[in-house]
Structure 1
Amino acid sequence: MRFEEPVLLYGAGREALSTRAFLKTRQPDLKVFVTVDNGNADVPETEQIAIADLPAAIREHRFGLIVKSPGVSRYKPVFDIARAAGIPVTSNLNLWGAAYRHGRTVIAITGTKGKSTTATLVHLMLTRSGIDAGLAGNVGLAPLEIADKHAVVVFELSSYQTADMNFLPDVAALTNLYPEHVDWHGSVERYYADKLHLIDRDGGFAVALGAAARGNALVAKAVRDHRRLLPDLTPEQSLAIENAVSRSRLRGAHNLDNALLAAQIALGIGGTLDGIIAGIAAFRPLPHRLEEHRFGALTIVNDSISTTPEATKAALAAYPGRRIALIAGGHERQQDYAELATLLSQRGVTTLATLPVTGERLASAASATAPDVLVLPAPDLEAAIASLVEHQARFDTIILSPGAPSYNQFRNFEERGARFVDLCRMSFEVSGTAPGQ
């Protein structure tokens, strides 16, 4: 692989940094530009092009390739200008495919929710089975960071990455499919198409589907040939995995589904049942995904990764028998909270603290369908925690599971989750913490 013209990096995050390192190794003297939508780009040995100057730079053909970071929507008008100028747009993932795909087994896992847990489990199951496997994508390393280090690569991929993925995996897996990321994709229909692009292609690769994906008509159509599907687990295998999950740190029915899907994938490429059981035992909850703490008599659950109502439903279902204070609401993506509101009481929610802006709709729906739930509208997370302090006799568990992105008040879900834990630590009597228990 050789680049005959300068390259533009659009984005300056982890993937951009690994792309720059890759280009430096391949062609030390290659000219590399960088652009970002806001602020300065801190990428070594690059020349920044202001975003306002980008259209002119494309028309002047100052570079011959654009490497787009996942958070940059491929539907931005500037990419129409690039296509008209004959400048291709690619990604860190696709550069990995061109450089390192050959001779490796690739497992690509996507889905609206559960993909990180499933990918992590597959990786653990394979390594515990004695298979040389690495983990990359949105968890683990960036694709170009993992390079050629492993014979098997497990990729956890967002819809941003599957949308233009240009190489085929050996196994493509989908956990589930719900509306999400409409602002990036432009419509729910386009989101579905971009997510399903992982499996909706010609080729002899195998496909594995999570329980929530199997009854979806769009998914069934995308599979095309159902002979692609990996064999189902036997009843004995399923029972062994259920027993292992019951003894593990995987909480909730949704995580049992993730474990069963991961086991199906691992067995499909040579993993052993013993390795699968050991992988489940080794699993530790990922940060901000049902991450537990104990502050005084309270269980505090940081599920800030929750950006859809479906994720919030799963979080509540993971804590049966609890008296729950739920904190929900965030950035507007036209989420539908009607069904979630009807489930609050039966899932043990006694108190609901809502955050702008989507929390207003959830509060209204909850008032209509769950009048026994105390609703506490709050302007921000600090005010929500302060309100809960005044009503802590009503609950034994606080769950931050917003069912919406964080962008209107935080840079990302990680910042939101960390702030939630800090506020709880400061606001409730601390008698020791147990993260991830």
Structure 2
Amino acid sequence: MKLVDLENKKVALWGFGMEGKASLAYLQKRLPDLSLTILCPQSEAGLSGVKFNHDEITADLLSRFDVVVKSPGISPYQDCVENSTAQFTSATALWFANERRATGAQIIAVTGTKGKSTTAAMLTHVLTGMGFNAVLAGNFGVPLLEQTTLCDYVVLETSSYQAYDGEITADVGLLLNLYSEHLDWHGSESQYHKDKCRVIASAQQVVLNAKDEKTLKSQIATHHNQVSYFASEQSFYVLNNSLMYQDKALFSLHAWSLKGRHNLLNAAAVCQVVSVLGLNIMACINHIKTFKSLPHRLQLVGLFNGVIAVNDSISSTPQSTMAALDTVKWDKTILLVGGFDRGLDWQCFVDFLVQQTESLKQVVCSGQNGEKIYKLVQQAIPQQQVALELSLDKAVEVACKRAEVGDTILLSPGAPSFDAFANYQQRGVQFEAWIKQYFMC
């Protein structure tokens, strides 16, 4: 939506988190006379001189406005949206309509159920190291509406929410993988996949995962003339814990600080994007090797009385927990799982445990979906040591008491944090505090 289309309109900002605040600042600067109202809970307010409305969101309330700029975390699949007469847009859509050309940037949209933050940050690190002015923005990095100056590349870390209503037109669209997530927002797995793929459908060039079953089933490649793949033996892929290009080994897991084969796969995706951009691959590899892991992603908390603690609080799907388990010794690992219940099926996680030749030292389940996970594991794998606690702090205490020299306590919840924490960052920080409190008291 062009800014000129907002003039003389009654406009509401629905949601007042980081993106909502960026939208307010942007609109106040560009359209200082615009009639603006912020729709949010009273707890999110705090600015003076701004009009707030804390009433319950209904179709009637939304219909009082001509245009509603909706924050990405708010689902459009609800009656108050569908029955409203307001026109809906988003901060991302405003940027693409009004700022993209002015920045002169090529847009690389990175999406996927897991790995998109690490991959987007790694790609930005590589491009910056190669001398380009590259900006990491979107769901991770700076809010997109804050990027209004000239740059070479915008690496857009794109959530399924932003893919739905962002009207994103990328020069390169990278889809890492498709699993089940955010079913409470999208309503179903098929709708989640459909919304996720919008950003790919509108991209000029597309990079896909050749080994991801649901990506291949989506047949997204049939709608494009310019498609390339990573995780293919004709391009960049992972073999025996090494990043490969065709028949040449580029580097192994031991050559950098990140853990897990999944991160090598993320590196393969970055290399494929760099190749599509026509840039130097060896320079790319050199900069990848210097990339450091992001916080709360298989982050080493420390060594406490011989016990290793690892914070993987970002983990919000069973698949991400399974990837984390690829980095540890099973018989020496106490796994903490569970959190906010988004309705995901944990049978794949249980099947994964069944297929292993050894058991984890212990699985400690907690949170809203903890009991569900506990029962599935207990019924399918009677020999697996598994415990159930109502809260994460109690789960951490159980893990600390059980841990011995040489063991690893791994927080990889496989679920969001919203049942008990504001976000995954708060959960990770609190986990680290509890670990240190237990071992240092």
TM-score by length of 1: 0.89
Kindly indicate whether the alpha-carbon contact (under 8 Å) linking 1:291 and 1:302 is maintained by their aligned counterparts in 2. yes
SS of match in other structure, 2:200: coil
Deviation at 1:303, TM superposition (A): 0.8
Mean Cα deviation higher: 30-39 or 226-235 = 226-235
Mean Cα deviation higher: 349-358 or 172-181 = 349-358
SS of match in other structure, 2:192: helix
Task: Pick from 288, 313, 319 the counterpart of residue 310 of structure 1.
Answer: 319
- Name the residue aligned to 1:117: 118
Deviation at 1:43, TM superposition (A): 4.7
Q: Counterparts in 2 of 1:273-422, with a 5 A limit?
A: 273-296=281-304, 297-320=306-329, 323-344=332-353, 346=357, 349-393=360-404, 396-422=407-433
How far apart in 2 are the matches of 1:97 and 1:44?
A: 29
Mark the runs of 5 or more structure 1 residues left unpaired by the alignment: 431-437
- Name the residue aligned to 1:99: 98
SS of match in other structure, 1:112: coil
User: Aligned partner of 1:371: which letter?
Assistant: P
1:66 corresponds to 2:68? yes
- Are the structure 2 counterparts of residues 40 and 152 from structure 1 closer, same or farther at C-alpha, using a change threshold of 3 Å? closer
Q: Structure 1, residues 293-326: CA drift from partner, whole Å, max 9, x if none?
A: 2232121111111111101000001224661100
1:423 corresponds to 2:431? no
- Name the residue aligned to 1:257: 265
Paired-residue identity, %? 32
Q: Structure 1, residues 119-146: CA drift from partner, whole Å, max 9, x if none?
A: 1111111112222211101221010112
Q: Structure 1, residues 31-57: CA drift from partner, whole Å, max 9, x if none?
A: 211012563423564211233365444
Kindly indicate whether the alpha-carbon contact (under 8 Å) linking 1:325 and 1:395 is maintained by their aligned counterparts in 2. no
Mark the runs of 5 or more structure 2 residues left unpaired by the alignment: 238-243
- Name the residue aligned to 1:434: none
Deviation at 1:199, TM superposition (A): 1.8
1:9 corresponds to 2:43? no
- Name the residue aligned to 1:195: 196
Deviation at 1:275, TM superposition (A): 2.8
How far apart in 1 are the matches of 2:396 and 2:55?
A: 39
Alignment size in residue pairs: 422
Deviation at 1:245, TM superposition (A): 4.8
- Name the residue aligned to 1:76: 78
User: Aligned partner of 1:400: which letter?
Assistant: L
How far apart in 1 are the matches of 2:81 and 2:199?
A: 22
- Are the structure 2 counterparts of residues 395 and 364 from structure 1 closer, same or farther at C-alpha, using a change threshold of 3 Å? farther
User: Aligned partner of 1:353: which letter?
Assistant: V
Deviation at 1:395, TM superposition (A): 6.2
SS of match in other structure, 1:257: helix
Deviation at 1:214, TM superposition (A): 6.0
How far apart in 1 are the matches of 2:295 and 2:183?
A: 25
Q: Which has the higher contact order (CA 8 A, sep 6+)?
A: 1
How far apart in 2 are the matches of 1:245 and 1:390?
A: 32
User: Aligned partner of 2:336: which letter?
Assistant: I
Mean Cα deviation higher: 279-288 or 206-215 = 206-215
Deviation at 1:238, TM superposition (A): 6.0
Kindly indicate whether the alpha-carbon contact (under 8 Å) linking 2:364 and 2:395 is maintained by their aligned counterparts in 1. yes
User: Aligned partner of 1:71: which letter?
Assistant: G
User: Aligned partner of 2:380: which letter?
Assistant: T
Mean Cα deviation higher: 28-37 or 304-313 = 28-37
Kindly indicate whether the alpha-carbon contact (under 8 Å) linking 2:331 and 2:361 is maintained by their aligned counterparts in 1. no
How far apart in 2 are the matches of 1:238 and 1:429?
A: 49
1:24 corresponds to 2:28? yes
How far apart in 1 are the matches of 2:421 and 2:110?
A: 27
